[in-house]
């Protein structure tokens, strides 16, 4: 099992206490870009143009982690 699968699996098993940098790492491993220019949200962008804004403040709520996992799996 590679690290990208392990990271998503860990997020799925425990959607609490994740940092935006960890979501960015998972996105990078799955070929998803992001933009975060100091604002309150980090916006993840797939190659086909779909977007998912996630609040960048800590802690990230579990609902955003679940949405991110679904976003990556669809991507």
Count CB-CB contacts under 10 A for residue 48.
7
User: Which CATH class name applies to 3-74?
Assistant: alpha beta
Overall pTM > 0.85: yes
Where are the chain's structural domains?
3-74
Residue-wise pLDDT for 10-22, tens only, equals: 999 999 999 999 9
Residues 44, 52: Cα–Cα separation, whole Å: 5
Q: Which strands make up the sheet holding 51-55, listed edge to edge?
A: 33-35, 41-45, 51-55
Residue-wise pLDDT for 15-66, tens only, equals: 999 999 999 999 999 999 999 998 899 999 999 999 999 999 888 999 999 9
């Amino acid at each position: 099992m590679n690290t990208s699968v392990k990271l998503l699996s860990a997020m799925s098993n425990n959607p609490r206490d994740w940092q935006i940098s960890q979501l960015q790492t998972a996105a990078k491993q799955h070929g998803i870009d992001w933009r975060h220019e100091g604002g309150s949200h980090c916006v993840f962008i797939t190659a086909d143009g779909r977007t998912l804004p996630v609040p960048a403040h800590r802690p990230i709520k579990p609902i955003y982690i679940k949405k991110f996992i679904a976003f990556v799996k669809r991507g």
